[in-house]
Amino acid sequence: MPVSLAISAKPSAMHGAAPLPWRASDTPAFEMAGTVMRFSADRPLYAEGDEARCFYKVVSGVVRTCQFLSDGRRQIDAFHLAGDVFGFEAGSTHRLAAEAVTDCTVIACRRRALDTMLGGDGRLNQWFITHALSCMAQVREHALLLGRGSAAQKVAAFLLEMAERGDSANSVELPMGRQDIADYLGLTIETVSRTLSHMEKDGMIRLPSPRKVVLKDRAALRNLNV
């Protein structure tokens, strides 16, 4: 079931709320053949170490890429929303597992097909190089947050990121649970929960329901930034 896979302008990860070095106009208007696949919430798309035959573009829903630590903890590397591309690897295997956060639809694209194209199409090359470098900047941002940020800084950065990636309204619907947030930020669910409660008490946010956050004072959240 080959389907058009327009590679979008949006970078593939949610690593940083920082302004991205990325413009819609930078994106070449190329398309690639792919296969539509559906996954229901919490199903794996692929596991750590699986052969990296495909990379993916999210059509709808949310996907997380993550790795499992020797002590059983899990580090979520990124959340991938509609339009994001993920699963492109340097080596022959996936270094990160990918799992559906919500029910989702993705387009899978054979990597070999891309490899053959990469010799020829200049714009395609440019796009992938820029995409890779762009992702790297985001990973760095995330690394900084993980390594240097306090719990409050982490949660604030996360909320601002989610707001920015959504319709950027003040009301944010979180597609993932507390455990996912904690594993993304390198915290425990208790600390995430406490930090959110504390922010509500301080008037920075409102929590009409666990999954819904209203940003009341973006400036205050931003001021926490690393």
Partner DNA sequence: CGAATACTTGATGAGACTCAAGCGCCGTGG
Partner DNA sequence: CCACGGCGCTTGAGTCTCATCAAGTATTCG
Using CB under 7 A as the binding rule, whether residue 157 contacts DNA is answered as no
Q: Which CB sits closer to DNA, 165 or 194? A: 194
Q: Which residue has the tokens 């993932």?
A: 176
DSSP type of residue 66: E
State the minimum distance, in angstroms, from the CB of residue 32 to DNA.
36
Using CB under 7 A as the binding rule, whether residue 152 contacts DNA is answered as yes
What mask, x for binding DNA by CB under 7 A, covers residues 162 to 201? ---------------xxx------xxxxxxxxx-xx----
From residue 204, how far is each of 72, 144, 193, 219 by CA, in Å? Answer: 34, 23, 15, 9
Query: Which of 143, 169, 202, 211 forms a contact with its own copies (CB under 8 A)?
Result: 143
State the minimum distance, in angstroms, from the CB of residue 200 to its own copies.
25
Using CB under 8 A as the binding rule, whether residue 139 contacts its own copies is answered as yes
Distance of CA 65 to the CA centre of its chain: 8
Nearest to 85 by CA among 65, 113, 102, 66: 65
Q: Which does 4 bind (CB under 5 to 8 A by kind): its own copies, DNA, none?
A: none
What mask, x for binding DNA by CB under 7 A, covers residues 101 to 140? ----------------------------------------
Nearest to 83 by CA among 22, 142, 154: 22
Using CB under 7 A as the binding rule, whether residue 202 contacts DNA is answered as no
Using CB under 8 A as the binding rule, whether residue 222 contacts its own copies is answered as no
How many residues sit in the footprint of DNA (CB under 7 A)?
21
Query: Sign of the C-alpha dihedral, residues 136, 141, 144, 150?
Result: negative
Encoded tokens for 13 = 């990860």
Half-sphere exposure of 201 (CA within 13 A, CB side): 6
What mask, x for binding DNA by CB under 7 A, covers residues 15 to 34? --------------------
Using CB under 8 A as the binding rule, whether residue 133 contacts its own copies is answered as yes
Element spanning 207, H or E: strand 205-209
DSSP-assigned beta bridge partners for residue 5: 32
Using CB under 8 A as the binding rule, whether residue 8 contacts its own copies is answered as no
Q: Which CB sits closer to its own copies, 1 or 69? A: 69
Taking each helix axis from N to C end, the angle separating 122-148 and 111-120, rounded to the nearest 10 degrees, works out to 120
Encoded tokens for 137 = 């900047």
- Can you give the binding site for DNA, defined by CB under 7 A? 150-152, 177-179, 186-194, 196-197, 207, 209-211
